Amino acid sequence: MTTRTALACLLALALWACAPDRDDAVGRYQAAANGIDIVLTLAENGRGTWSTDTDEIAFKWSTPKPGQLWLHTREGGVIQGRTEAGRLTIALPGVGDLVFQRR
């Protein structure tokens, strides 16, 4: 193994070890806004759904830092949120914070 290959492997291992643990956020969450129940599901594969009685929106999600959650929309936008103790708080543009409880 060359020195360059060894350094690349070491760097990849270090980045993997320092990455936030996505599994902490995986699950099903529920919130209510203006009388509408919203279910947010975060799967292990980094995909998720935002569901109401009348609609379901698919998205990708990530945890770039501990306690931080990003929902990546199909259009390329990012909706930012926070994770803490079985709760997700999502900052919706024009609406404000929406708090989801783990179910």
Q: What is the mean pLDDT of each run of 10 residues along the chain (103 residues)?
A: 52 43 84 93 97 96 95 93 94 90 95
DSSP state letter for 76: S
How far is residue 98 from each of residues 9, 32, 55, 69, 101, measured CA to CA in Å? 41, 8, 18, 13, 10
Asked, for residue 50, whether it belongs to a domain, the answer is: yes
Asked, for residue 26, whether it belongs to a domain, the answer is: yes
Range of the domain at 47: 21-102
81: helix, coil or strand? strand
Asked, for residue 66, whether it belongs to a domain, the answer is: yes
- What pLDDT was estimated at residue 40? 97
Asked, for residue 1, whether it belongs to a domain, the answer is: no
- What pLDDT was estimated at residue 9? 42
Asked, for residue 15, whether it belongs to a domain, the answer is: no
Instruction: Count up the domains in the chain and report the number.
Output: 1
- What pLDDT was estimated at residue 12? 43
- What pLDDT was estimated at residue 11? 43
Identify the CATH number of the domain in which residue 81 sits: 2.40.128.50
Evaluate whether 48 touches 37 at the Cβ level (below 8 Å).
no
pTM of the model: 0.76
- What pLDDT was estimated at residue 32? 92
